Amino acid sequence: RASSCSSSTSSRHLLSRAYSADASPERKIAVLGAAGGIGQPLALLMKLNPLVSHLSLYDIAGTPGVAADVSHVNTRSEVKGYVGEDQLGAALEGCDVVIIPAGVPRKPGMTRDDLFNINAGIVKTLCTAIAKYCPNALVNMISNPVNSTVPIAAEVFKKAGTYNEKKLFGVTTLDVVRAKTFYAGKAKVPVSEVDVPVVGGHAGITILPLFSQAKPQGINLSDEDMKALTKRTQDGGTEVVEAKAGKGSATLSMAYAGSIFADACLKGLNGVPDVVECSFVQSAVTDLPFFASKVRLGKDGVEEVLGLGSLSDFEKEGLEKLKPELKASIEKGIKFAHGN
Ligand code: NAD
Ligand code: LMR
Protein backbone atom coordinates (compact mmCIF):
# COMPACT_ATOMS: atom_id res chain seq x y z
CA ARG A 1 0.00 0.00 0.00
CA ALA A 2 1.36 3.45 -0.97
CA SER A 3 2.38 5.70 1.88
CA SER A 4 0.17 8.75 2.40
CA CYS A 5 3.43 10.82 2.61
CA SER A 6 3.68 10.89 -1.19
CA SER A 7 1.96 14.12 -2.23
CA SER A 8 0.04 12.71 -5.21
CA THR A 9 -1.20 9.75 -3.18
CA SER A 10 -2.03 12.06 -0.33
CA SER A 11 -4.13 14.44 -2.44
CA ARG A 12 -5.87 11.52 -4.11
CA HIS A 13 -6.54 10.13 -0.67
CA LEU A 14 -7.96 13.45 0.53
CA LEU A 15 -10.09 13.78 -2.59
CA SER A 16 -11.52 10.32 -2.22
CA ARG A 17 -12.22 11.00 1.45
CA ALA A 18 -13.94 14.27 0.64
CA TYR A 19 -15.93 12.55 -2.09
CA SER A 20 -17.08 9.69 0.12
CA ALA A 21 -18.02 12.06 2.96
CA ASP A 22 -20.03 14.22 0.54
CA ALA A 23 -21.62 11.24 -1.18
CA SER A 24 -22.71 9.59 2.02
CA PRO A 25 -25.24 11.52 4.12
CA GLU A 26 -25.00 11.93 7.87
CA ARG A 27 -26.41 8.86 9.60
CA LYS A 28 -26.78 8.32 13.33
CA ILE A 29 -26.82 4.75 14.59
CA ALA A 30 -27.49 3.61 18.15
CA VAL A 31 -26.52 0.29 19.68
CA LEU A 32 -28.64 -0.49 22.77
CA GLY A 33 -26.83 -3.03 24.94
CA ALA A 34 -23.50 -1.75 23.61
CA ALA A 35 -21.38 -2.96 26.53
CA GLY A 36 -22.45 -6.59 26.08
CA GLY A 37 -20.97 -9.60 24.34
CA ILE A 38 -22.56 -8.64 21.01
CA GLY A 39 -22.68 -4.91 21.68
CA GLN A 40 -18.92 -4.38 21.97
CA PRO A 41 -17.77 -6.03 18.73
CA LEU A 42 -20.86 -4.63 16.98
CA ALA A 43 -19.89 -1.14 18.15
CA LEU A 44 -16.44 -1.69 16.66
CA LEU A 45 -17.84 -2.96 13.35
CA MET A 46 -20.24 -0.01 13.10
CA LYS A 47 -17.31 2.32 13.86
CA LEU A 48 -15.58 0.80 10.82
CA ASN A 49 -18.60 1.50 8.60
CA PRO A 50 -18.05 4.65 6.49
CA LEU A 51 -21.82 5.15 6.13
CA VAL A 52 -22.10 5.99 9.84
CA SER A 53 -21.46 9.60 10.92
CA HIS A 54 -22.63 9.37 14.57
CA LEU A 55 -22.38 6.25 16.71
CA SER A 56 -24.38 6.25 19.91
CA LEU A 57 -23.54 3.51 22.43
CA TYR A 58 -26.09 2.90 25.17
CA ASP A 59 -26.20 0.38 28.03
CA ILE A 60 -27.26 0.29 31.65
CA ALA A 61 -23.56 0.04 32.64
CA GLY A 62 -20.11 0.09 31.08
CA THR A 63 -20.67 2.29 28.04
CA PRO A 64 -18.29 5.13 28.96
CA GLY A 65 -15.36 2.71 28.70
CA VAL A 66 -16.55 1.04 25.51
CA ALA A 67 -17.23 4.42 23.89
CA ALA A 68 -13.83 5.86 24.91
CA ASP A 69 -12.10 2.78 23.52
CA VAL A 70 -13.98 2.61 20.19
CA SER A 71 -13.80 6.39 19.73
CA HIS A 72 -10.02 6.21 19.22
CA VAL A 73 -10.42 4.26 15.99
CA ASN A 74 -9.60 6.69 13.17
CA THR A 75 -12.74 6.35 11.07
CA ARG A 76 -15.51 8.79 10.09
CA SER A 77 -18.02 8.52 12.91
CA GLU A 78 -18.18 10.48 16.12
CA VAL A 79 -18.77 8.15 19.08
CA LYS A 80 -20.72 8.96 22.24
CA GLY A 81 -21.45 6.71 25.20
CA TYR A 82 -24.67 6.90 27.22
CA VAL A 83 -25.31 5.05 30.45
CA GLY A 84 -28.54 4.51 32.41
CA GLU A 85 -32.14 5.18 31.55
CA ASP A 86 -31.98 8.93 32.07
CA GLN A 87 -29.51 9.13 29.14
CA LEU A 88 -31.55 6.89 26.83
CA GLY A 89 -33.40 9.78 25.19
CA ALA A 90 -30.18 11.58 24.28
CA ALA A 91 -28.75 8.32 22.93
CA LEU A 92 -31.74 7.89 20.62
CA GLU A 93 -32.48 11.44 19.47
CA GLY A 94 -31.96 11.82 15.72
CA CYS A 95 -31.19 8.14 15.08
CA ASP A 96 -31.68 6.66 11.63
CA VAL A 97 -31.07 3.07 12.73
CA VAL A 98 -31.33 1.55 16.23
CA ILE A 99 -29.77 -1.86 16.80
CA ILE A 100 -30.96 -3.75 19.91
CA PRO A 101 -28.73 -6.50 21.32
CA ALA A 102 -29.82 -5.75 24.93
CA GLY A 103 -30.86 -8.57 27.21
CA VAL A 104 -29.77 -11.90 28.62
CA PRO A 105 -28.31 -14.71 26.50
CA ARG A 106 -28.98 -18.46 26.79
CA LYS A 107 -27.09 -20.98 28.89
CA PRO A 108 -26.89 -24.69 27.98
CA GLY A 109 -30.26 -26.44 28.28
CA MET A 110 -32.29 -23.28 27.70
CA THR A 111 -34.47 -22.42 24.72
CA ARG A 112 -34.64 -18.87 23.39
CA ASP A 113 -38.18 -18.70 24.75
CA ASP A 114 -36.74 -19.22 28.26
CA LEU A 115 -35.31 -15.69 27.89
CA PHE A 116 -38.77 -14.21 27.35
CA ASN A 117 -39.50 -13.25 30.96
CA ILE A 118 -36.45 -11.00 31.25
CA ASN A 119 -35.97 -9.79 27.69
CA ALA A 120 -39.59 -8.94 26.92
CA GLY A 121 -39.58 -6.21 29.57
CA ILE A 122 -36.20 -4.84 28.42
CA VAL A 123 -37.35 -4.65 24.80
CA LYS A 124 -40.62 -3.01 25.83
CA THR A 125 -38.80 -0.28 27.77
CA LEU A 126 -36.35 0.38 24.94
CA CYS A 127 -39.07 0.47 22.27
CA THR A 128 -41.17 2.85 24.35
CA ALA A 129 -38.20 5.22 24.32
CA ILE A 130 -37.65 4.72 20.56
CA ALA A 131 -41.29 5.67 19.94
CA LYS A 132 -40.70 8.85 21.91
CA TYR A 133 -37.25 9.95 20.77
CA CYS A 134 -36.69 8.55 17.24
CA PRO A 135 -40.03 7.26 15.93
CA ASN A 136 -38.76 7.24 12.33
CA ALA A 137 -35.70 5.08 12.96
CA LEU A 138 -35.29 1.62 11.47
CA VAL A 139 -35.21 -0.84 14.37
CA ASN A 140 -32.95 -3.92 14.09
CA MET A 141 -34.07 -6.34 16.82
CA ILE A 142 -31.42 -8.83 17.92
CA SER A 143 -32.65 -9.57 21.48
CA ASN A 144 -34.17 -13.02 21.86
CA PRO A 145 -36.63 -14.55 21.49
CA VAL A 146 -36.78 -12.62 18.20
CA ASN A 147 -40.00 -14.47 17.25
CA SER A 148 -41.66 -12.67 20.20
CA THR A 149 -39.59 -9.50 20.70
CA VAL A 150 -40.43 -8.20 17.21
CA PRO A 151 -44.20 -8.52 17.84
CA ILE A 152 -43.69 -6.84 21.24
CA ALA A 153 -41.94 -3.92 19.54
CA ALA A 154 -44.74 -3.66 16.96
CA GLU A 155 -47.39 -3.49 19.69
CA VAL A 156 -45.45 -0.89 21.69
CA PHE A 157 -45.12 1.27 18.56
CA LYS A 158 -48.83 0.78 17.69
CA LYS A 159 -49.81 1.89 21.16
CA ALA A 160 -47.62 4.99 20.81
CA GLY A 161 -49.09 5.69 17.36
CA THR A 162 -45.68 5.42 15.66
CA TYR A 163 -45.79 1.92 14.16
CA ASN A 164 -44.52 1.68 10.61
CA GLU A 165 -44.25 -1.94 9.49
CA LYS A 166 -41.56 -0.95 7.01
CA LYS A 167 -39.21 0.04 9.81
CA LEU A 168 -39.18 -2.95 12.14
CA PHE A 169 -36.81 -5.86 11.51
CA GLY A 170 -35.97 -9.02 13.40
CA VAL A 171 -32.32 -9.72 12.66
CA THR A 172 -32.05 -13.25 11.25
CA THR A 173 -28.84 -12.60 9.32
CA LEU A 174 -26.86 -14.98 11.54
CA ASP A 175 -28.97 -17.85 10.23
CA VAL A 176 -28.03 -16.84 6.68
CA VAL A 177 -24.36 -16.45 7.66
CA ARG A 178 -24.38 -19.97 9.15
CA ALA A 179 -26.29 -21.51 6.23
CA LYS A 180 -23.75 -20.04 3.80
CA THR A 181 -20.77 -21.28 5.83
CA PHE A 182 -22.14 -24.79 6.33
CA TYR A 183 -23.26 -25.10 2.70
CA ALA A 184 -19.89 -23.96 1.34
CA GLY A 185 -18.16 -26.54 3.55
CA LYS A 186 -20.39 -29.38 2.43
CA ALA A 187 -20.55 -28.46 -1.27
CA LYS A 188 -16.83 -27.59 -1.34
CA VAL A 189 -17.37 -24.25 -3.08
CA PRO A 190 -15.85 -20.88 -2.15
CA VAL A 191 -18.04 -19.39 0.57
CA SER A 192 -17.87 -15.96 -1.09
CA GLU A 193 -19.89 -17.36 -4.00
CA VAL A 194 -22.60 -18.89 -1.81
CA ASP A 195 -26.05 -17.51 -1.13
CA VAL A 196 -28.82 -19.26 0.82
CA PRO A 197 -32.16 -17.71 1.78
CA VAL A 198 -33.35 -18.55 5.29
CA VAL A 199 -37.04 -18.04 6.06
CA GLY A 200 -39.52 -18.51 8.91
CA GLY A 201 -38.34 -17.30 12.29
CA HIS A 202 -35.31 -17.39 14.56
CA ALA A 203 -35.57 -20.40 16.90
CA GLY A 204 -35.08 -24.13 16.32
CA ILE A 205 -37.40 -25.55 13.66
CA THR A 206 -38.79 -22.09 12.86
CA ILE A 207 -35.42 -21.43 11.15
CA LEU A 208 -35.93 -22.79 7.62
CA PRO A 209 -32.93 -22.56 5.29
CA LEU A 210 -33.89 -23.03 1.64
CA PHE A 211 -30.91 -25.04 0.43
CA SER A 212 -32.84 -26.04 -2.71
CA GLN A 213 -32.37 -22.39 -3.78
CA ALA A 214 -28.70 -22.18 -2.78
CA LYS A 215 -26.30 -20.47 -5.12
CA PRO A 216 -24.13 -21.40 -6.94
CA GLN A 217 -26.66 -23.70 -8.59
CA GLY A 218 -26.03 -27.06 -10.15
CA ILE A 219 -24.53 -28.67 -7.04
CA ASN A 220 -26.24 -31.94 -6.29
CA LEU A 221 -26.19 -32.68 -2.60
CA SER A 222 -28.00 -35.80 -1.40
CA ASP A 223 -31.27 -35.55 0.53
CA GLU A 224 -29.35 -36.70 3.60
CA ASP A 225 -26.84 -33.87 3.17
CA MET A 226 -29.66 -31.32 2.78
CA LYS A 227 -31.32 -32.61 5.96
CA ALA A 228 -28.06 -32.52 7.91
CA LEU A 229 -27.32 -28.96 6.72
CA THR A 230 -30.82 -27.87 7.70
CA LYS A 231 -30.48 -29.35 11.17
CA ARG A 232 -27.05 -27.81 11.70
CA THR A 233 -28.37 -24.38 10.68
CA GLN A 234 -31.39 -24.74 12.98
CA ASP A 235 -29.13 -25.81 15.86
CA GLY A 236 -26.31 -23.35 15.10
CA GLY A 237 -27.10 -21.14 18.09
CA THR A 238 -27.22 -24.15 20.42
CA GLU A 239 -23.88 -25.38 19.05
CA VAL A 240 -22.30 -22.11 20.22
CA VAL A 241 -24.19 -22.03 23.55
CA GLU A 242 -22.91 -25.53 24.35
CA ALA A 243 -19.35 -24.76 23.27
CA LYS A 244 -19.34 -21.64 25.48
CA ALA A 245 -20.52 -23.86 28.35
CA GLY A 246 -22.42 -21.28 30.39
CA LYS A 247 -20.56 -18.18 29.20
CA GLY A 248 -23.32 -17.03 26.85
CA SER A 249 -24.24 -17.46 23.21
CA ALA A 250 -22.94 -16.29 19.84
CA THR A 251 -21.45 -12.82 20.11
CA LEU A 252 -18.72 -12.43 17.47
CA SER A 253 -20.56 -14.07 14.57
CA MET A 254 -23.68 -12.19 15.70
CA ALA A 255 -21.87 -8.87 15.71
CA TYR A 256 -20.69 -9.66 12.17
CA ALA A 257 -24.23 -10.59 11.09
CA GLY A 258 -25.70 -7.52 12.83
CA SER A 259 -23.24 -5.24 11.09
CA ILE A 260 -24.08 -6.76 7.69
CA PHE A 261 -27.78 -6.17 8.30
CA ALA A 262 -27.34 -2.60 9.60
CA ASP A 263 -25.12 -1.82 6.62
CA ALA A 264 -27.87 -3.08 4.29
CA CYS A 265 -30.39 -0.82 6.09
CA LEU A 266 -28.07 2.18 5.66
CA LYS A 267 -27.51 1.41 1.98
CA GLY A 268 -31.28 1.18 1.48
CA LEU A 269 -31.81 4.51 3.28
CA ASN A 270 -29.12 6.06 1.08
CA GLY A 271 -30.91 4.94 -2.08
CA VAL A 272 -28.58 2.14 -3.17
CA PRO A 273 -30.69 -0.06 -5.46
CA ASP A 274 -31.37 -3.78 -5.04
CA VAL A 275 -30.32 -4.24 -1.44
CA VAL A 276 -31.83 -7.57 -0.39
CA GLU A 277 -31.42 -9.38 2.95
CA CYS A 278 -33.52 -11.92 4.81
CA SER A 279 -35.32 -10.50 7.84
CA PHE A 280 -38.24 -11.27 10.18
CA VAL A 281 -40.79 -8.60 9.30
CA GLN A 282 -44.52 -7.96 9.12
CA SER A 283 -45.46 -10.13 6.21
CA ALA A 284 -48.25 -11.43 3.99
CA VAL A 285 -46.07 -14.20 2.56
CA THR A 286 -47.82 -16.80 4.77
CA ASP A 287 -50.89 -16.60 7.00
CA LEU A 288 -48.68 -15.53 9.94
CA PRO A 289 -48.43 -11.80 10.69
CA PHE A 290 -44.62 -11.87 10.93
CA PHE A 291 -42.32 -14.05 8.90
CA ALA A 292 -38.70 -13.99 7.76
CA SER A 293 -38.01 -13.95 4.05
CA LYS A 294 -35.96 -11.96 1.59
CA VAL A 295 -36.72 -8.26 1.89
CA ARG A 296 -35.74 -5.46 -0.48
CA LEU A 297 -34.53 -2.44 1.51
CA GLY A 298 -35.12 1.11 0.38
CA LYS A 299 -35.27 4.74 1.46
CA ASP A 300 -38.14 4.07 3.90
CA GLY A 301 -37.02 0.68 5.14
CA VAL A 302 -38.83 -2.32 3.67
CA GLU A 303 -39.48 -1.63 0.00
CA GLU A 304 -40.77 -5.10 -0.80
CA VAL A 305 -41.21 -8.35 1.08
CA LEU A 306 -40.21 -11.02 -1.42
CA GLY A 307 -41.97 -14.36 -1.70
CA LEU A 308 -40.55 -17.78 -0.87
CA GLY A 309 -39.91 -19.03 -4.42
CA SER A 310 -40.26 -22.73 -5.14
CA LEU A 311 -39.62 -25.10 -2.26
CA SER A 312 -38.55 -28.75 -2.21
CA ASP A 313 -40.94 -31.24 -0.61
CA PHE A 314 -38.67 -31.33 2.44
CA GLU A 315 -38.83 -27.53 2.74
CA LYS A 316 -42.63 -27.50 2.21
CA GLU A 317 -42.93 -29.97 5.07
CA GLY A 318 -40.60 -27.82 7.22
CA LEU A 319 -42.73 -24.76 6.48
CA GLU A 320 -45.92 -26.43 7.67
CA LYS A 321 -44.17 -27.82 10.77
CA LEU A 322 -42.81 -24.46 11.88
CA LYS A 323 -46.05 -22.52 11.66
CA PRO A 324 -47.69 -23.56 14.98
CA GLU A 325 -44.55 -22.75 17.02
CA LEU A 326 -43.96 -19.45 15.26
CA LYS A 327 -47.64 -18.49 15.62
CA ALA A 328 -47.54 -19.23 19.37
CA SER A 329 -44.36 -17.16 19.85
CA ILE A 330 -45.83 -14.21 17.95
CA GLU A 331 -49.04 -14.40 19.99
CA LYS A 332 -47.08 -14.61 23.24
CA GLY A 333 -45.29 -11.36 22.35
CA ILE A 334 -48.51 -9.58 21.42
CA LYS A 335 -50.22 -10.76 24.61
CA PHE A 336 -47.31 -9.56 26.75
CA ALA A 337 -47.34 -6.13 25.14
CA HIS A 338 -51.06 -5.74 25.83
CA GLY A 339 -50.98 -7.17 29.33
CA ASN A 340 -48.34 -4.88 30.78
P1 NAD B 1 -24.73 -9.97 27.12
O2 NAD B 1 -25.30 -10.33 28.43
O3 NAD B 1 -23.28 -10.20 26.88
O4 NAD B 1 -25.02 -8.43 26.81
C5 NAD B 1 -26.28 -7.88 26.94
C6 NAD B 1 -26.13 -6.43 27.30
O7 NAD B 1 -27.44 -5.89 27.44
C8 NAD B 1 -25.42 -6.20 28.64
O9 NAD B 1 -24.33 -5.31 28.46
C10 NAD B 1 -26.48 -5.59 29.52
O11 NAD B 1 -26.00 -4.63 30.44
C12 NAD B 1 -27.38 -4.97 28.49
N13 NAD B 1 -28.71 -4.65 29.00
C14 NAD B 1 -29.48 -5.33 29.87
N15 NAD B 1 -30.61 -4.64 30.12
C16 NAD B 1 -30.56 -3.52 29.37
C17 NAD B 1 -31.42 -2.42 29.20
N18 NAD B 1 -32.58 -2.33 29.84
N19 NAD B 1 -31.03 -1.44 28.36
C20 NAD B 1 -29.86 -1.52 27.70
N21 NAD B 1 -29.01 -2.54 27.82
C22 NAD B 1 -29.36 -3.52 28.65
O23 NAD B 1 -25.60 -10.73 26.00
P24 NAD B 1 -25.25 -10.91 24.45
O25 NAD B 1 -24.48 -12.16 24.26
O26 NAD B 1 -24.73 -9.65 23.91
O27 NAD B 1 -26.74 -11.20 23.86
C28 NAD B 1 -27.71 -10.21 23.87
C29 NAD B 1 -29.02 -10.73 23.29
O30 NAD B 1 -28.87 -11.06 21.91
C31 NAD B 1 -29.54 -12.01 23.95
O32 NAD B 1 -30.93 -11.90 24.13
C33 NAD B 1 -29.23 -13.09 22.93
O34 NAD B 1 -30.08 -14.19 23.04
C35 NAD B 1 -29.46 -12.31 21.66
N36 NAD B 1 -28.86 -12.91 20.46
C37 NAD B 1 -29.57 -12.87 19.31
C38 NAD B 1 -29.05 -13.37 18.14
C39 NAD B 1 -29.83 -13.31 16.85
O40 NAD B 1 -29.45 -14.00 15.90
N41 NAD B 1 -30.86 -12.51 16.74
C42 NAD B 1 -27.77 -13.93 18.14
C43 NAD B 1 -27.05 -13.96 19.33
C44 NAD B 1 -27.61 -13.45 20.50
C1 LMR C 1 -28.09 -17.57 17.94
O2 LMR C 1 -28.74 -18.04 17.01
O3 LMR C 1 -26.87 -17.76 18.07
C4 LMR C 1 -28.78 -16.70 18.94
O5 LMR C 1 -30.16 -16.68 18.75
C6 LMR C 1 -28.38 -16.98 20.35
C7 LMR C 1 -28.91 -18.29 20.86
O8 LMR C 1 -29.46 -18.29 21.97
O9 LMR C 1 -28.76 -19.30 20.21
Residue 72 bears catalytic tag? no
Using CA atoms, how far apart are residues 153 and 333, in angstroms rounded to an integer? Answer: 9
The DSSP secondary structure of 33-100, one letter per residue, reads TTTSTTHHHHHHHHHT-TT-SEEEEEESSSHHHHHHHHHTS-SS-EEEEEESGGGHHHHHTT-SEEEE
State the distance from the centre of ligand 1 to the C-alpha of 140, rounded, in angstroms: 13
Binding site for NAD(+): residue ranges? Answer: 33-39, 59, 119, 142-144, 254
Q: Of the residues 32, 38, 87, which should be mutated to test ligand 1's pocket, given the most ligand atoms within 8 Å of the CB?
A: 38
The DSSP output letter for 107 is -
- The pLDDT value recorded for residue 340 is 56
pLDDT of 184-229, one tens digit each? 999 999 999 999 999 999 999 999 999 999 999 889 899 999 999 9
Q: Which helix (H) or strand (E) holds 192?
A: none
% of the chain at pLDDT higher than 70: 93
Q: Does the reported pTM lie above 0.90?
A: yes
Using CA atoms, how far apart are residues 147 and 63, in angstroms rounded to an integer? Answer: 28
The DSSP output letter for 161 is T
- The pLDDT value recorded for residue 127 is 98
State the distance from the centre of ligand 2 to the C-alpha of 12, rounded, in angstroms: 44
State the distance from the centre of ligand 2 to the C-alpha of 250, rounded, in angstroms: 6
